[in-house]
Structure formats: C-alpha cells, structure tokens
Structure 1
Amino acid sequence: MLANGVVDRSRAAHTPVVGTADGDQRIMVLRAFDSDAMTLRFHTDSRAPKCAVIEQDPAVHVLIYDRDRKVQLRLAGVGSIETEGQQVDDAWSEATNFARRCYLGSAPGAPSDIPTSGLPDHLEGVAPTDEQLVEARENFALLLVEIETIDWFFLDHHGHRRARIDLRDRGQETWLAP
C-alpha cells in the first residue's frame, strides 16, 4: 500500500492523515517509502508549525484508509525535520518548479486579511524560473517518519481482522481482537 501510494495519486496511501504530538492532523502527500528502513518521506515548509512541534516531541502518527481494500493502517513512529543534506537536495531537485513555488509564499498559518494562497501575486498560477526559486530552497524541508508500529485493520462483514506489527521488536506480529 505504501509503495503504491508514492507512485499512484489515486491510491489512498498517496494522501494520508499525518498527526503530531500536539493533536494536530493534516493531509500530506506521501513522497517516498523506504521499505528497508521503514521510513516515510513527506515534503513540508520548514516554517510550518508542525516542524517546531516535531522538534519538541517527535511522535508522529500516520492514518491511511483504503476504502476499496477495506484496510485501515495506523502507523506510529518517530519524525524528524531535515533541511539540509543529500536527501533534501535530491528531493528539491526532483520537484517541479510549479511545486517548488509553494515555498516562496508566506509562512504556513500566517494571518491574512483576505483569502490567499500566500504566494506573491506575480506567481499565482505561474511556474517560476529557477532564479526566482533560489530563496524558496531555504524554506523547503523533509518530514521523515521512521515507522515503529503498524496497526493493520481489515473490515469485513464476515468478521473484521486486526494485527499489530512492532518493528522495534524485530517485526513481532500479534493478532488482536478488532
């Protein structure tokens, strides 16, 4: 589900709900999944309030519900905000200029007197040039989530099934009553 969610926008895992220790939740786009390291990668603005929350308390939860498969995944893990390094540079270079322009706008959550995208007027609906994006790079960050536990829940009218996988304990799997 996770690997498919990275490459297929129509999959439920492409846009999971990500929650932080302060109880805030938001939809984020899953950009990468490393099945060896059991790590998820999301892109974020380093000025977003969630970054400060994760710096203080790295507990992160990810919720995915695949309606077609009738499967719910609840992932719990440790988040980190990365603003420098090869992985961040690679993610930045892989993004389109249209996607990168988000990091030129106002800081996420900044108040406004009018409905706004936060982007400068001259960039509304326009892909900026590489030169215009130079200052945006400093606002780009990765949220990496190292998955520690997976709660898998299959809904079935014949009887639900639920399992917990603890990756901290060599992938110990335990069947649970739903």
Structure 2
Amino acid sequence: MNNSQEMIMAGFGGQGIMFAGRLMAYAGMLAGKEVSWLPSYGPEMRGGTANCHVIVSDQQVGSPIVNNPTALIAMNRPSLDKFESTVLPGGLLIIDSSLINRSIERKDIRAIEVPATQLAVDMGEGKLANMVLIGKLVKETEVFPLEVLVQAMNKAVSARNKDLLDMNVKALELGYNY
C-alpha cells in the first residue's frame, strides 16, 4: 500500500514547526519509509513565519521541495493565507482554530479545525499545540501508526528534557483522538 505524504507545516517561529517536521521525518524513517525534511525561516526566527516541507514516501524522494502538499498544517493566519491554495485537491488541511480567525475557504479538500493551542493550554503546556496537530495529522493520513510517532518522540526529546516527554506524548494522543 503506497501512502506517501508531501506535507507543509507552517506557523510563527517559536511554535515548534521545525521540531514537528523533524519528528515526522524521523518517524517516517523508523517506519522504513523514504523521507526528507526541508526547513524554511522567514526574516526572523521567533515571531517571523517558519515552515518546513516533509516528505514521507514509499518511493525514493526526488526533491525535498513541496509545491502542492497532500497535507498542510497551518498554525497561524498568515500561513493559512499563504498555503491554503497550494494543497492538492482531495488533500488535507488542518488548522489551529485557536489562533486562526477565519474558516477554510476551499471545498475540494478535507478541512479540519482543531483548537490545538487551547487544548494544549488546558493540558497545562501551551507550547505543545504543534504536537496536538501532528497527532491529528497522523490519525487522518495514516502515514504511519501512532506508536511509531511515540517511538520517534522517545528518540527526539533530549535527555535533559525527558520530563517533557510524557507531556509531548500526551499532546500527540490528544490530537490523535480529537
């Protein structure tokens, strides 16, 4: 079964966009798939726009650049405005409805609004909205099982941040089950 995903994750610098993308690429590797991860920063890292292109594929990846994603996560309004039109028809668009004050305009894609920042704040860790959205992305795309994502998280979180591991996993599961 070929389940290749070409994804763009976008938001403000400091929202954990790059970490989320690296985590997806790492989980793809653990799942035995071909992967690429390409970060892109706006003028300033924190507060500026940031996005990354992630490809998780059963075939060899020819180019790390994603022009028309099969899936998009938009964590802020500028990212939604910039990338909504690029999603492939039939593709998936997940937005953080806590931070984006407009609805998704396209009708030819699967659109999911998740109040990720609010869910993360309610959980006690507002910075984990990215993990809530990644959990939802994995659930909707079935690109690999949630267990593989959790396994990748165990490897990705540094030893000095092990206390954050459980919270990150909880956020992934929260999004997955939302």
TM range (shorter): under 0.3
Q: Which has the higher helix share?
A: 2
User: So what's the TM-score if we normalise by structure 2?
Assistant: 0.27
Q: Name whichever structure is richer in strand by fraction.
A: 1
